[in-house]
Structure 1
Amino acid sequence: MPPLRTRLLPPCLVALALLAGCGSSTDPNAATPGTGSGTTPGSGSGADRTTIVMIPKGTTHVFWKAVERGARDAAAAHDVDLVWKGPLKENDRAQQIQLVQQFIVQDVDAIALAPLDQDALVTPVADAAASGIPVVIFDSALTGTSGTDFVSFIATDNEAGGRLGGDHLATLLEPGDDVVLLRYLVGSASTLQRESGFLAAMADADHDVLVENRYAGPTAGEAKTTALNMMSSIRAAKGVFCSNESATYGMLLALRQEGLAGQIRFVGFDASPPLVEALRTGEIDALVVQNPRRMGALAIETLVRHLRGEPVETVIDTGAVLVTKANMDDPAIAPLLE
């Protein structure tokens, strides 16, 4: 049971709390954006149970499903209730802000958040802290100081991950070969850092980036459309880098449609069954793969320790590896592709 805390709602949430109290008797979670699962706050097996809410950027990518598995394993191990709920699309800042505000009003014990936007979620996180609700940031950075503005930041070293992918792509290219970068979303700190690391690797290897200012959007379908619109530049290039799962898959679909899959050197980020299969067939040369289950587990474990008054690390790097056809079946790597 967490220590008793005095909860004072920030003024901006008082109206929201009053509206919630004056509304109908319908379950307040029923109309919440996104998909959720787990125990409704306040409805657990006892009022003294700890409820931790985990708010990812989205709920459809394979990556987030793996984060959820890790979080649920950790929640079960520590005998705490976990609520998992995120926006339907990874570009919907308003939904994610609404979710944070909702769970502040519901007075949950702690929140783990993967912010869609490194700046837009600063105020909601500050509101949670002002209400006595500790927040761990995971996957993607939030503007602020870890250990002060929020409890801990748990993520891949994304700039290093982007450089890892860029360095490998450079080994596959000839001197003077050009490349194309397909970015993910404006404001997404994790992918911005990966893209920065990739561009640094290309600069060090003297490879020009023909296109580096196009954004895939939140879905593979949108990424495919963006990639098709870049096809003249892609045809002129010898290599392509994409900074997340949906951008990588959308690019793969576009290359297949144009008959270029396996003809252009291609490094992506994250893993899903279609991407793993493309790696095995040679349509993708390499994937930079994170450890999402570990990330989810550590987010929950860190909050549990913090609620118990134990010291926690303010920054935790959950690691990333470069996966190729040559090493994808190694015992240390294969589980990351499941």
Structure 2
Amino acid sequence: MKIGLLAAALVGFLDGTALAQEKTLAIVVKGLDNPFFEQINLGCQKWNNENANSGYKCFYTGPASSADETGEVQIVDDLLTRPDVAAIAISPSNAPLMAKLLREKAPKIPVMTIDADLSQDDADLRKTYLGTDNYLMGVKFAEYLQELKPDGGSICLQLGNVAADNINARAAGTRDTLAGEKGIERLTGQNGWTEIEGCPVFTNDQVDLANQQMADTFTANPDLDAFVLEGGWAQFAPQAYAQVTGQVMDKLDAKELIIVAGDTLPPQIEALKAGRSHVQVGQRPFEMGYRAPSVMVDLIEGKAVKPVIYTGLDECTQENVDTCIAQ
């Protein structure tokens, strides 16, 4: 009996040792309430399933709300103190705030960014960025707008957090391309495009606020020519989005009002098929979550990693909606 207990204790000790030796590859996103980031989690979990005996485990986390910028910073701060954490991939909601923490902490472990990057001035704080070419994504929005509204028109841009580097880069790509020149902070008639009063609007990554902003904008501006969701926020609540676009369906059908939006999650593709948007330019969040752990392992092992790794875009229109998503 005693021998059996000793053997059981020994097994438990060995299991605990193995568990303690398993290193954590942390992915920290802006908020767990955003279905876009859940795709990153699914990619992370697929990596775990395929690398069960690697000695590493992908760990997905973030604040409960995408609006909790300080909460995300605190999570990163806490992870940097954990001895099991070997590397961190961060999607910074507030890029300057996150950069401030990283400068103060000077992490001894590799830190990379995923989905959203730090500013160019703070790029030295991360080893690499894995995700979308956000400026190019904004360019794509503009190119489709130019095709659908060649004479330009009135436009409203919907953004996320004021300090979200990835969304701001998309807005810059959209404005620069529509204007035909770089460094445009606001469209004031360039090539026929003018941003209406009260825009851009900032969602703070809140789905309900995004839909309310759209509804208010449509009501206050019945002659609006284009609305750009630089991120997919409003569409992440399909019923609310259907109600909002329902008030302007005749204009959408006639292409008097054009909606282009970011991301191509299933509810967004259904919205596109239903004519509730005209173009969806999609990122590849699953791929980000799946590739990030391997990139972190390479960084840990001192392998050469490019400073920027782009994951590509999917361009979906009402004409190609059935075949536009990369497999």
Cα drift, residue 176 of structure 1: 4.4
Q: Which runs of 5+ in 2 are unaligned?
A: 1-15, 181-190
Cα drift, residue 290 of structure 1: 0.7
Change (3 A) 1:47 1:147: farther
Coordinate RMSD, CA, aligned:
2.4
Summarize the alignment of residues 106-255 of structure 1 with structure 2, pairs less than 5 Å apart.
Answer: 106-107=82-83, 108-127=85-104, 130-143=106-119, 148-204=124-180, 205-211=191-197, 212-249=199-236, 252-253=241-242, 255=244
More helix as a share of residues: 2
Q: Select which of 247, 257, 261 maps to 1:258.
A: 247
Contact 1:183 / 1:247 at 8 angstroms: preserved in 2? no
Contact 2:314 / 2:326 at 8 angstroms: preserved in 1? no
Deviations 1:19-51 (A, max 9, x none): xxxxxxxxxxxxxxxxxxxxxxxx784322221
Find the counterpart in structure 1 of residue 19 from structure 2: 46
Q: Which has the larger radius of gyration?
A: 2
Q: What SS class does the counterpart of residue 59 from structure 2 fall into?
A: strand
Contact 2:67 / 2:206 at 8 angstroms: preserved in 1? no
Cα drift, residue 238 of structure 1: 1.6
Change (3 A) 1:229 1:198: same
Find the counterpart in structure 2 of residue 25 from structure 1: none
Letter in 2 for 1:244: G
Q: Select which of 268, 271, 277 maps to 2:264.
A: 271
Find the counterpart in structure 2 of residue 29 from structure 1: none
Contact 1:242 / 1:268 at 8 angstroms: preserved in 2? yes
How many residue pairs align between the two structures?
Answer: 292
Deviations 1:268-296 (A, max 9, x none): 00123321111112121010101111112
Contact 1:178 / 1:207 at 8 angstroms: preserved in 2? yes
Percent sequence identity is 21
**TM-score w.r.t. length of structure 1:** 0.79
Alpha-carbon distance between aligned partners in 2 of 1:59 and 1:320, rounded to the nearest angstrom: 23
Q: What SS class does the counterpart of residue 179 from structure 1 fall into?
A: strand
Change (3 A) 1:233 1:201: farther
Cα drift, residue 53 of structure 1: 1.1
